[in-house]
Amino acid sequence: VQTCALPILLGLIAQRRVTSAFKQMSAVPAGLTGFEAARRMLDREGLSGVGIEEIGGRLSDHYDPRSKVLRLSSEVYRGHSMASVGVACHEAGHALQDAKNYGPLVIRNLAVPSANFGSGTGMGLIMLGVFTGMTGLIMVGVILFTAVVAFQLVNLPVEFDASARARRALVDQGMIAPNEEPYVAKVLNAAAFTYVAGTVQSIVTLVFYALLANED
């Protein structure tokens, strides 16, 4: 039970950390809105064809590689803060990865269907095996769930690289001063911790149920 509780606790801590960092850095002003910063970063890299749309939700920001569109929450899209420009340019970093066929991103995108299947069907079989006592079902579910772990592992360099691109662009293109970079880093590092926590959670889950299936 303690083994299962650890990744859940880590996930809660990670979510609280990113929410706190975003709130703090939302109070630190920037000279541009999130939209303006992302637009400038994309245009400077020759990606004027990549659109930017405002969406609802909080911290719902993402890049859609199929539509070639950045979707930014209103708080990020309209916000004049270090948090807003950091998050917006992080998503622009994903667009740059996509345009340059960044290897880990290509692999991640290819892994999405398998990860979704492993998460849904794999966990379903694991739960069914636990309730029925059929360790064979648990092991089949564990095998399918390895796709989730693989996705999480390949996703880490994708997210770290997007953040690094954002931080460089913001300073190199004069959107923030060099001494302001730590403010942006605080938000992006906190966000990165959520991906690390998610990966740990997946690994611990996989190991826990694999050991459970082998108890007999």
91 a catalytic residue: yes
Q: Can you tell me the distance from the alpha carbon of 211 to that of 139, in angstroms, rounded to the nearest whole number?
A: 9
Q: 142, exposed or middle or buried, with CB in 10 Å at 0-12, 13-18, 19+? A: buried
Q: Which residues have a Cβ under 8 Å from the Cβ of 192 and sit 6 or more positions away?
A: 159, 160, 163
Catalytic choice (91, 159, 181, 215): 91
Instruction: Please identify every residue annotated as catalytic.
Output: 91
